[in-house]
Amino acid sequence: MVKATKQTVKQMKPRYEYISSAKLPTRFGLFNIHGFWDNTEKQEHIALSHGSWQASDTVPIRIHSECLTGDSLFSIKCDCGFQLEKAMQNIVEHGFGLILYLRQEGRGIGLLNKIKAYRLQDMGLDTVEANEHLGFDADLRDYHICKSMLDTLNVTEVELMTNNPKKLRALTDLGIKVVKRKAIDHGVTEYNKAYLQTKTNKLGHKFNLDKLV
């Protein structure tokens, strides 16, 4: 028999770990916040749940990548803050649901690189060109942790709130049953309309850009 060493025990540790949960009252309603840890990337992620469900229920969810500027600083250069608020409203109105909030700022390039990309956009590049000019792919996000988060929170099939079909494909590839993709309302402003148009033309997102808010 081979005796387990500290090194082998460390190697056996799962990549994704559930850490803890707590109540999180918000201006939209009462949520619970759940913490997760990625042992490979050394990164923390959270989920926000509202209400309760059975394993057989179809749960409305949103996968939301962190956007400090949009979510916390109220920027209208993007549509992130608009969509996060709308997702929370939709979930409370539905009675239950879940937001997977992934720490993937700037489609995976990080906050400081996103600021560099913003500077390039101020100079005339679009959001995809700016990321690529900095040496990154247009979208570096990874959704593998979503399976662990959904398993932990007893979700087996979902209605996905997104305008990005790539997220639907990512969940399906992970073996998650997506019953429906539901478009999520987004705030269109004079500052982000070109950004949304780029996401439509180059990243396959689906938007209605007819009106400015």
Which amino acids are annotated catalytic?
A: 139, 141
Give, as one character, the DSSP assignment of residue 77: S
98: Cβ contacts below 8 Å, ≥ 6 apart: 47, 48, 49, 50, 59, 60, 61, 62, 91, 150, 153, 155
The verdict on whether residue 95 carries a ligand-binding annotation is no
The verdict on whether residue 146 carries a ligand-binding annotation is no
The verdict on whether residue 132 carries a ligand-binding annotation is no
The verdict on whether residue 69 carries a ligand-binding annotation is no
Torsion over CA: 109, 112, 113, 115 (sign): positive
Query: Are 177 and 134 a contacting pair, CB within 8 Å?
Result: no
The verdict on whether residue 64 carries a ligand-binding annotation is yes
The verdict on whether residue 181 carries a ligand-binding annotation is no
The verdict on whether residue 26 carries a ligand-binding annotation is no
Name the binding residues for Zn(2+): 67, 78, 80
- Which residue numbers belong to the known binding site? 62-67, 78, 80, 83, 105-107, 127, 162, 167
- Binding-site residues for GTP, in ranges, read 62-66, 83, 105-107, 127, 162, 167
